[in-house]
Amino acid sequence: DRYLLSPQDMDPTSTSLSLYDLESDSLKPLETQPGLVLDYWIGPDKEKILLKKGYINEAGFWLDNSYYVLNVPTKVIRPVPFPDLVDNPTLFWLDAETIGITHQIQPIGGIGFSTYNLTNNNLSQVIKDAFTHIRRYGEKLLILQYALESQQTIATFTTFNGEVINQQIINDRCFFKSQVNNYILLNCEADSLFFDETLQFTPFGGLVSLLAPGRGGDSAIVVTRDETIFLINQISLEQQPIALEGMPIEIRWLPDASGFLYRVSEYLF
């Protein structure tokens, strides 16, 4: 409520991420690294910022981009090291002390993934092959891969350092759709399924086009591609059909999960 982050001119070729104090009407530079502020992401602890700087903000021009972690209270800034053989990498926060690095992005997923730990300064390669999806799941990483030759989907839980915890093979081509509470929803070739942290799979039904969990409540709304609409319990996965005015293309729950807005092609209900 008190501060704004803003890139400010530093010299003819550089900008600096700065902190504007609304109370004192003052602007304070947070860093002086060379290049333009291209993007930044505030960390989960609200004290550190992942900062991207470079000179050309276009796809394909990434070799002059640098990433830094800026500690706002202490003003300490450190560069984020890149793994070997990266090609247009993407970075994001996994937790307050860990950054995820996709070595090479693809239309679906990427190739190679590493983590950088700010506490011990360790860069750990988690996977070197292609994957279709990777995300944090509690204190673990969930990795989905598709084996083209065998036409199987491989679901793996690993530590942030890449140690395999457990793994399961699905004899189908499946892709990540959403997460509901502790369940992961996958859309496969003809149907969908849920699985939990033990990688126990439960068939769910038709392919899901929209899933909207109500934060702070037990319910989620599911819309399937065959135009079936129902509520599911986020804990038990029990289903209850509901009737709406048309097929929703967007759903927004109220903050207390007591109801929701939904949009169809021409109206809002």
Sheet holding 192-195, edge to edge: 175-180, 183-187, 192-195, 201-205
Pick the closest to residue 69 from 89, 40, 90, 95 (CA basis).
40
Percent with pLDDT over 90 in the chain? 83
Considering just the CA atoms, what is the radius of gyration of the chain in Å?
22
pLDDT band for position 123 (cuts 50, 70, 90): very high
For the stretch 168-194, pLDDT in tens is 999 999 999 999 888 999 999 999 999
Helix or strand or coil: residue 51? strand
pLDDT band for position 15 (cuts 50, 70, 90): very high
Own/partner long-range contacts of 108-114 (Cβ < 8 Å, ≥24 apart): 108/132, 108/133, 108/175, 109/133, 109/134, 109/144, 110/134, 112/83, 112/85, 112/86, 113/143, 114/83
Find the mean pLDDT for residues 240-247: 93
Q: Above 80 in pLDDT, residue 133?
A: yes
Q: Above 90 in pLDDT, residue 60?
A: no
Considering the entire predicted model, what is its pTM?
0.87
At residue 64, the pLDDT reads 83
Residue bearing tokens 């860093």? 31
At residue 88, the pLDDT reads 87
Q: What does the block give as tokens for 106?
A: 């693809």
